[in-house]
A and B are shown apart, each in its own frame.
Chain A
Amino acid sequence: MTLAIDLSNISKSFPGVKANDEINLKIQEGTIHAIVGENGAGKSTLMKILYGMLKQDFGSIKIFDNEVNFSSPKDAISEGIGMVHQHFMLADNLSVLESVILGMDRASLKVLNKSKYKDEINEITEKYSMPLNTQSMIDELGVGEKQRVEIIKVLFRGAKILILDEPTAVLVPQEVSELFNNLKNLKDSGVTIIFISHKLDEVLEIADEISVMRGGKHIDTVDASTVSKTDLAEMMIGQNLPTPPKREKNSKQDKALTIKNLTAETENGRSAFKNINFSINQGEVVGIAGVEGNGQRELAESILGVYPIESGEIILGETTINDLSTRDRRESGLSFIPEDRQSQGLLMDVSLSENVILGKQSSTKYKSRYSNIKFNEASKNSNIVIENFDVRTPGNNTLALALSGGNQQKFVVGREIENKPSLLIASQPTRGIDIGAQSLIWNKLRDARDDGLGVLLISADLDELIGLSDRIYVIYEGSFVKELDPENATPEILGSYMTGLKT
């Protein structure tokens, strides 16, 4: 067998971080090779180097025994390497055909031969049984289809080596198995696949060989058929795999939130969610599971008051808050951790000591009688959040954008919890952050719950939902289709309700 990829002594440093430290890695042609590791372990950096997006400081890369020197992805593509990013690189306003052929021709003023390209694409889709309509606009496609476009885009360029960066993060279990079938087809026709993930079950299912990275170092490469999940986990983090451990229920009788018959429409008149009924007791975490785009985001935002509702009732504690503004809702004890901390939860170009005010700028906490902001108070409180939530920062004068994602998220969560709410809505509270920050946030959420806080938890991480929630609702096409006890729930069971396979 030939080596598709041979990396030797690859090193790459960023200011303050050694992202890759003398990595040696060999990958056989025609295999599926998984690379596992925590966020920040250096997987992405390594792949960006391999794909020509970054330049290594030291070390050499051989592709099919040829030493290569990439200065851009274009070079990597011409050597037969293709990459499918976790966030799809697709434009809503382009058609499938245009997305696939983009960059194939020099930027010249001749006529694009669309029918020739169309035939070529159809050939590929048939060969690997990945059906696609080339005329569709990208924004008409579902997540699974978009991923297919990305894979075809890469194959169309004659890729022999396919890098998939966390390909299952956006998929539900059923879509995952479809993807895995496609990948097996590809492998059988001789394509080498590099599969980056931190989900060990999936990796064990699909990969032939598994390389583990930790702290920028290559720990080991093992045969997937002989290694156990526990061994992998230990290699990956040097300790046992963290899942939020179960704990005693602590729910009180008093209601933190009651939702009655809540219904809302999207801008173009379709139903966002309809007839939602549930309640959250104090000291209780209620989780909502659902495939992205099934109304859970709109539901959370309508409770905050930034998404308009058609009918129904939102009761915070004892009071109906339908007619209250977002500001007044926050005043009445509602806190909100938004799903996108950078655009929704922080002012990126503003210091932490001012960011702590956000959400309470009109409350007496930070507003004096003469409408002045109490900056001293803010500075003090920002230090409390930094202290209590272990935010790693040079100080509270640092701009939010200077922090790493995990530290930004810890700050947002800390601010919202330190505001001492009666109800906390947490939307994807640990998305895309490192293990340390993740477990800290889990602990803090649990502590707050134990102190009597009601929490509405929305997460795409099914393990997190099962581990943290006291009850789970599954939302599908805007309706709650199932209530589950986390004791009896598994990701597979959730997945089948989330996709409407079971009702």
Chain B
Amino acid sequence: MINFVKKHYLIILPIVFIVLIAQMDKYDQLTTSGTFGAAIRLAIPICLAGLGGMFSERTGIVNIGLEGMMIMGTWFGAWAAWLYGPWYGILAGILGGALFGLIHAVGTVTFQVDHIVSGVAINILAAGVARFLNVVAYADQPTQSSTQSPRIDGDVGDFTLPYLSGGADTPSLFGYLQDLNYPFISDIAGLLLGATSNLSYISIFALVLIPVAAWVLWSTPFGLQMRSVGELPTGSESLGVNVYLMKYIGVMISGGFAGLAGAYLVLESSGIYREGQTAGRGFIGLASMIFGNYRPFGIFMGSGLFGYADALQLRSDDAVHGLLILISLILFIFAIKQLIEKKYINSSISIALSIGFLIWFLNSETVPSEFVYFTPHLTTLIVLSSASQKLRMPQKVGQPYRKGELS
């Protein structure tokens, strides 16, 4: 137990702090079921993008183009949903993303373009294509615009866990606990309530994909071949693995996941396609993949964190204000840690920053909305800079592979 705390104190302490801060009325939004519900909904697209990144990188291809593939998902998702209904939107989003995955694969696998260069080009292409298609596809609509789709109607229905969360007119145990307002118990009940009520079927579909992805990669011959391609392409080729094919499939699945993430954004959060609505979530997905050490459940945890940050900025400026004291506290812990490690200069910088955030917290009522907006992006940076675990990244990720060539 003590060892566990020691090892994971960087995760545990912030959680404890958050719960403590949430005891103040002003900041109770930090742990309500509403916030957690929103967090899950916002985490899902990031998680899907992260899973997409994983499928690509496991086969050795860096996929910076996730963002572009996600853009394709938003556009095709909106368009097909507008024409035929939400489930078609999901399908079209996946296909649109996969199509761009195919382009990335042609560039990186067949022509061995630098993966990042190809990814950047994919992002540029996606932005251009979406803009063009949008003008062409909605030309006859009264709302015609180069950057938005018409509003999309249609609901896929949702699901709430009975008895625990009150689905199907049953009592809600978590709801009851949350309303008791006991520290910790109510907060955790809020988390569970948010996670298990009003989940749309699309969300459930997306969540199911997490264990499915893990199963495919670690329990099937297909998954083994896929992983081997990112580790040692030459050796795999000589054992009869079709390396190019595996890479193509990996990058296309990657695109499909990113596309699904995009379609999800349109159908679940906004109900409309809007230029720029991915807002870097493809890249945040990539960050959650690194944070999650290229494993599905790790990615889920990582995206949960980013989703939470995203939810806070959407739901309540007050809650973000509460984060100031959290940052101050965490910096303070860092300072103590650095002091123990005899890094006096770093320690004093941390102390100074900690006090700075404390003063900011005490002297303000809210955080300016311009700052609130980048909470998830800042969280991404902070998390990536403080995650110091040993990564087991695929050995040959990012390196070109040419068929029949021995290294």
A74-B240, A89-B238 known; A112-B219 Cβ under 8 A: yes
- Which residues on the A side are within 8 Å of B242 (C-beta)? 107
Asked if residues A73 and B237 are in contact (CB atoms below 8 Å), the reply is yes
Closest A residue by C-beta to B238: A73
In the complex, what distance in Å separates the CA atom of A110 from the CA atom of B226?
14
- The yes or no answer to A247 lying at the interface (CB within 8 A) is no
Which candidate, B112-120, B228-236, B372-380, is the interface stretch facing chain A? B228-236
A77-B239, A107-B246 known; A98-B404 Cβ under 8 A: no
- The yes or no answer to B142 lying at the interface (CB within 8 A) is no
- The yes or no answer to B389 lying at the interface (CB within 8 A) is no
Distance in Å: Cβ of B406 to nearest Cβ of chain A? 7
Asked if residues A53 and B404 are in contact (CB atoms below 8 Å), the reply is yes
- The yes or no answer to B170 lying at the interface (CB within 8 A) is no
Our pick among A103, A111, A112 for the contact of B239 (Cβ within 8 Å) is A103
Chain B residues 234 to 255 lying within 8 A of chain A, measured CB to CB, are: 234-242, 246
Most buried by A among B222, B224, B241: B224
Asked if residues A91 and B221 are in contact (CB atoms below 8 Å), the reply is no
Our pick among B221, B235, B246, B404 for the contact of A106 (Cβ within 8 Å) is B221
> 1/0 contact trace for B285-316 toward A, CB 8 Å?
00000000000000000000000000000000
Asked if residues B232 and A91 are in contact (CB atoms below 8 Å), the reply is yes
Closest A residue by C-beta to B404: A53
> 1/0 contact trace for A66-107 toward B, CB 8 Å?
000000111001000001010101111110001001111111
Our pick among B224, B235, B390 for the contact of A90 (Cβ within 8 Å) is B235
- The yes or no answer to B8 lying at the interface (CB within 8 A) is no
Please classify how large the interface on chain A is, using the bins under 10, 10 to 19, 20 to 34, 35 or more: 20 to 34
Our pick among B221, B226, B228, B246 for the contact of A112 (Cβ within 8 Å) is B221
- Which residues on the B side are within 8 Å of A107 (C-beta)? 221-222, 225-226, 241-242, 246
- Which residues on the A side are within 8 Å of B50 (C-beta)? none
Closest A residue by C-beta to B406: A53
Distance in Å: Cβ of B208 to nearest Cβ of chain A? 15
- The yes or no answer to A109 lying at the interface (CB within 8 A) is yes
Asked if residues A105 and B221 are in contact (CB atoms below 8 Å), the reply is yes
> 1/0 contact trace for A143-158 toward B, CB 8 Å?
0000000000100000
- Which residues on the A side are within 8 Å of B407 (C-beta)? 87
- The yes or no answer to B394 lying at the interface (CB within 8 A) is yes
Distance in Å: Cβ of B84 to nearest Cβ of chain A? 28
Distance in Å: Cβ of B252 to nearest Cβ of chain A? 14
Chain A residues 96 to 135 lying within 8 A of chain B, measured CB to CB, are: 98, 101-112
Asked if residues A102 and B225 are in contact (CB atoms below 8 Å), the reply is yes
Closest B residue by C-beta to A44: B406
- Which residues on the A side are within 8 Å of B240 (C-beta)? 72-74, 77, 103
Most buried by B among A91, A104, A108, A268: A91
Distance in Å: Cβ of A321 to nearest Cβ of chain B? 26
- Which residues on the B side are within 8 Å of A109 (C-beta)? 216, 220, 222
A103-B225, A107-B222, A109-B220 known; A93-B237 Cβ under 8 A: no
In the complex, what distance in Å separates the CA atom of A51 from the CA atom of B404?
12
In the complex, what distance in Å separates the CA atom of A54 from the CA atom of B405?
10
- Which residues on the B side are within 8 Å of A106 (C-beta)? 221
In the complex, what distance in Å separates the CA atom of A268 from the CA atom of B227?
26
A53-B404, A73-B240, A102-B241 known; A94-B221 Cβ under 8 A: no
- Which residues on the A side are within 8 Å of B225 (C-beta)? 102-103, 107
In the complex, what distance in Å separates the CA atom of A261 from the CA atom of B219?
51
Closest A residue by C-beta to B407: A87
In the complex, what distance in Å separates the CA atom of A375 from the CA atom of B216?
55
- Which residues on the B side are within 8 Å of A72 (C-beta)? 237-238, 240
Asked if residues B219 and A94 are in contact (CB atoms below 8 Å), the reply is no
Asked if residues B394 and A93 are in contact (CB atoms below 8 Å), the reply is yes
Asked if residues A102 and B228 are in contact (CB atoms below 8 Å), the reply is yes
Closest A residue by C-beta to B232: A91
- Which residues on the B side are within 8 Å of A108 (C-beta)? 220-222
In the complex, what distance in Å separates the CA atom of A110 from the CA atom of B238?
23
Distance in Å: Cβ of B249 to nearest Cβ of chain A? 9
Asked if residues A103 and B241 are in contact (CB atoms below 8 Å), the reply is yes
For B, the interface residue count at a CB cutoff of 8 angstroms equals 29
- The yes or no answer to B342 lying at the interface (CB within 8 A) is no
- Which residues on the B side are within 8 Å of A112 (C-beta)? 219-221, 224
Most buried by B among A72, A87, A93, A101: A93
Most buried by A among B232, B241, B242: B232
- The yes or no answer to B6 lying at the interface (CB within 8 A) is no
- The yes or no answer to B392 lying at the interface (CB within 8 A) is yes
Most buried by A among B220, B238, B394: B238
In the complex, what distance in Å separates the CA atom of A110 from the CA atom of B404?
29
- The yes or no answer to B146 lying at the interface (CB within 8 A) is no
Asked if residues A91 and B395 are in contact (CB atoms below 8 Å), the reply is yes
- Which residues on the A side are within 8 Å of B235 (C-beta)? 89-91
> 1/0 contact trace for B205-223 toward A, CB 8 Å?
0000000000010011110
Most buried by B among A77, A89, A111: A89
- Which residues on the B side are within 8 Å of A91 (C-beta)? 227-228, 231-232, 235, 395
Distance in Å: Cβ of A408 to nearest Cβ of chain B? 15
Distance in Å: Cβ of B218 to nearest Cβ of chain A? 9
- Which residues on the B side are within 8 Å of A53 (C-beta)? 238, 404, 406
In the complex, what distance in Å separates the CA atom of A351 from the CA atom of B228?
35
In the complex, what distance in Å separates the CA atom of A72 from the CA atom of B222?
20
- Which residues on the A side are within 8 Å of B231 (C-beta)? 91-94
- Which residues on the B side are within 8 Å of A101 (C-beta)? 224
Asked if residues B220 and A93 are in contact (CB atoms below 8 Å), the reply is no
Distance in Å: Cβ of B63 to nearest Cβ of chain A? 19
Chain B residues 345 to 374 lying within 8 A of chain A, measured CB to CB, are: none
Asked if residues B220 and A94 are in contact (CB atoms below 8 Å), the reply is no
- Which residues on the B side are within 8 Å of A87 (C-beta)? 407
- Which residues on the A side are within 8 Å of B219 (C-beta)? 111-112
- Which residues on the A side are within 8 Å of B404 (C-beta)? 53-54
Asked if residues B406 and A93 are in contact (CB atoms below 8 Å), the reply is no
In the complex, what distance in Å separates the CA atom of A54 from the CA atom of B238?
11
> 1/0 contact trace for B380-407 toward A, CB 8 Å?
0000000000101011000000001011
Sample of 13 more A-B contacts, CB < 8 Å, known A89-B232, A98-B228: A73-B239, A90-B235, A91-B231, A91-B235, A91-B395, A98-B224, A101-B224, A103-B239, A107-B221, A107-B242, A108-B222, A109-B220, A110-B221
3 A-B pairs closest in CB distance:
A89-B235, A91-B231, A103-B239
The interface of chain B, by Cβ under 8 A from chain A, is 216, 219-222, 224-228, 231-232, 234-242, 246, 390, 392, 394-395, 404, 406-407
24 interchain pairs, CB-CB under 8 A: A53-B404, A54-B404, A73-B238, A73-B240, A77-B239, A77-B240, A83-B238, A89-B238, A91-B227, A92-B231, A93-B395, A94-B224, A102-B236, A102-B241, A103-B228, A103-B240, A107-B221, A107-B225, A107-B226, A108-B222, A109-B222, A111-B219, A112-B221, A268-B390
